[in-house]
Structure 1
Amino acid sequence: MSNLFSPIKLGELQVPNRVVVAPMCQYVAEDGKATSWHLIHLGGLASSGAGLLVIEATAVEAVGRITPGDLGLWDDVTEAALKPVVDAVRAHSNVRLGIQLGHAGRKASSEVPWKGGHQIALADGGWVTDAPSAVPQKDGEEVPHALDRAGLIRIRDAFVSAARRADRLGIDAIELHGAHGYLLHQFLSPISNQRTDEYGGSLENRMRFPLEVYDAVRAVWPKHKPLGIKVSATDWVDGGWDVAQTIEFAKALKARGVDWVDVSSGGISPLQKITVGPGYQVPFAKDIKEATGVTIFSVGLITDAQQAEDIVSSGQADAVAIARGMLYDPRWGWHAAAKLGARVEAAPQYWRAPPHGHADLFGSIVHGAR
């Protein structure tokens, strides 16, 4: 038996295996609205063999977009645009469907990656960004607006509204984006959070706003639907957010019943010094899991089936989330299951696809055709 392809329960949601399609920004939405690209992209990944497919980071308000091309879920128009994509996935796949809700904070108003990813100046169509403190991401960038109490309430309520819309769309699970230098992470990190009020300074204070957002979303998100969060375990910068603080944050989330913590790293500063290699973030996942007992997703250069199997089998994480590997191989789950002697679900139109020696990959195969 493959542990990677064994079922996992997230809250009350039964997921058939522990392969997750990680949320991956596509940067092609139109004023926050999903397009035909999202239909093709998510429709294809829904047949990857993964147990859970998470829709890309979705902005809870327009000024919270990383780029002008970010997907959004902040009004009736953006909700209506996403509905046919969700409906199409539902019509043709049994994959469990999640969505990542986020706010870019001071990293908003940026160009898409293939145009350099730099901040868009106000004169060129950019916008004033929000942040815990009036400290830009990079020297020379526009100074962000330091959020006051009214701004915090506005953003908290935007997360709540987006969660309600996700429920109406029939989404199974929500992951809050608290990583990669975006707004919730900005509150956690002492590099970006230089406030002197109850939202800054001590670890307890820096955790306060992300936990308020979590609590507010949990209050409106149906009890039977799981709620998780993505975190950066370390800033990779001296004096920044680190694993010890992440463990304390995870403990606070566990006390609130969090259904999983997705462990990534980095993103708060261009000064970060990251040591990259296959599975380079797995040790962070292992440390947080051992210290808290929370259900953990691991990410980061996990590309090989046996590598993923070993991560889960050894107890370093409960599931693996695959991003670039899924873009390169949209049937990653099929190929991993075949290598590990496991089975996955697939539409009957694909039942004759497995090569010789893997005829039982989908469990039941129809042989022959007229």
Structure 2
Amino acid sequence: MVSKLFSPYTIKGVTLKNRIVMAPMCMYSSHNEDGHVQNWHRTHYTSRAVGHVGLLIVEATAVTSQGRISTQDLGIWSDEHIEGFQELVGLMKEHGAKTGIQLAHAGRKAQLDGEIHAPSALAFNRDMKTPKEMSKTDIKDTVEAFKEGAERAAKAGFDVIEVHGAHGYLINEFLSPLTNKRTDEYGGSPENRYRILREVIDAIKTVWEGPLFVRVSAHDYHEEGLTPNDYITYSQWMKEQGVDLIDVSSGGVIPAHIDVYPGYQVKYSETIKNGANIPTGAVGLITSPIHAEEILQNERADLIFLARELLRDPYWPRTAAKELGVQIAGPKQYERGWL
């Protein structure tokens, strides 16, 4: 059997050398509260590029300073951020990886001083701040911020942009009826709740020609919330707008109990892939190379997004290749210890 995990994957003219993707994971390491790339980011991402990850997606990066999850988040709200990302992109590409960045706004889950924004004035829990309900001007400004963030990402040289529409952050808050109680054109019907994401995608497409991913939380884990079948419709709309791949995660929009087990979200990827006829990425406790191969061979997803497993083992692709009987060339500096 030919390994699909180690087969190339081309999406909108960008070819990944394999199907292994490093999922965006916040590092909370921009310690000067200015959103700039630090030495930690240079070490963290470049080491996974050396380790043969095909696509590295930089962590949730705030399109506005007010939209950060924390004061230690990376940011892309200023042209001053471009230089640091250019250097980081260059370091990753030097080792054969393709590069992506996740553009994000934390919405009501921002843990910052001052006012925070959300579609409706509902706190995430009793310990967190109650957000301000966004005005139409706030929404327009946020859409513009995503556009400007995409423009800066293009100048920095990234190959892929991912819009963060998951895990209870701003766009997810608009999509879910659990967190969007608006009565204007941004609330109520699925079409209205989708409107801000539609506007963000359209705005990004005016300045970005490369592959565009959207990360979604395909299940709210609440009887009145969204399910993967709802996300088939949303994904069909995204496909019509030119989104190239749906990165399928789940949860986070409200406090909820989630039964987790290896591959617990893969079925959601499969549902959306088949229902909307769009490429998907599977993520969530995928640790075994044999499991990753099964997902791809059975066309349950097109890419494998790894998170904590790549924190534990920056060279997981080498581990996977050995287990699957695939030969991949290591850096020449490591030849004595690679095989």
Of 26, 29, 35, which aligns to 2:38?
Answer: 35
Q: Is the 8 A contact 2:330 2:338 kept in 1?
A: no
Structure 1 residues 306-362: Cα deviation after superposition (integer angstroms, max 9, x where no partner): 01000111111111100000000100011101211224354322233323xxxxxxx
What secondary structure does 1:351 align onto? helix
How far apart are 1:83 and its partner, in Å? 2.7
Q: Is the 8 A contact 1:178 1:232 kept in 2?
A: yes
What secondary structure does 1:212 align onto? helix
What secondary structure does 1:66 align onto? coil
Matches for 1:200-279 after TM superposition, within 5 Å? 200-222=187-209, 225-270=210-255, 272-279=256-263
For structure 1, the residue ranges without an aligned partner over 5 or more in a row are 110-119, 121-125, 356-370
User: Percent of pairs identical after alignment?
Assistant: 42
Matches for 1:320-331 after TM superposition, within 5 Å? 320-331=304-315
How far apart are 1:140 and its partner, in Å? 4.8
Question: How many Å separate the matches in 2 of 1:337 and 1:266?
Answer: 31
Matched, 1:166 2:153: yes
Question: How many Å separate the matches in 2 of 1:60 and 1:142?
Answer: 20
Q: Would you identify which runs of 4 or more consecutive aligned residues in structure 1 move more than 4 Å? A: none
Matches for 1:82-101 after TM superposition, within 5 Å? 82-90=85-93, 92-101=94-103
Structure 1 residues 55-85: Cα deviation after superposition (integer angstroms, max 9, x where no partner): 1110001011001110111112222233322
RMSD between superposed Cα atoms in Å: 1.2
Matches for 1:73-222 after TM superposition, within 5 Å? 73-90=76-93, 92-109=94-111, 126-222=113-209
Question: How many Å separate the matches in 2 of 1:305 and 1:245?
Answer: 30
Matched AA of 1:322: L
What TM-score do you get using the length of structure 2 for normalisation? 0.96
Matches for 1:31-70 after TM superposition, within 5 Å? 31-70=34-73
Question: How many Å separate the matches in 2 of 1:269 and 1:297?
Answer: 23
Structure 1 residues 207-234: Cα deviation after superposition (integer angstroms, max 9, x where no partner): 1111110111112102xx1001000001
Question: How many Å separate the matches in 2 of 1:185 and 1:203?
Answer: 12
Question: How many Å separate the matches in 1 of 2:302 and 2:92?
Answer: 25
**Structure 2 partner of 1:14:** 15
Question: How many Å separate the matches in 2 of 1:140 and 1:335?
Answer: 42
Q: Is the 8 A contact 1:5 1:343 kept in 2?
A: no
Matched AA of 2:8: P
Of 319, 326, 331, which aligns to 1:342?
Answer: 326
What secondary structure does 1:228 align onto? strand
Question: How many Å separate the matches in 1 of 2:240 and 2:211?
Answer: 15
Matches for 1:288-303 after TM superposition, within 5 Å? 288-303=272-287
Distance 1:345 1:137, change over 3 A: farther
Matched AA of 1:58: T
For structure 2, the residue ranges without an aligned partner over 5 or more in a row are none
**Structure 2 partner of 1:307:** 291
**Structure 2 partner of 1:282:** 266
Of 71, 76, 95, which aligns to 2:74?
Answer: 71
Question: How many Å separate the matches in 1 of 2:127 and 2:157?
Answer: 43
What secondary structure does 1:141 align onto? coil
Matched AA of 1:251: Q
Matched AA of 1:147: M
Question: How many Å separate the matches in 2 of 1:99 and 1:346?
Answer: 25
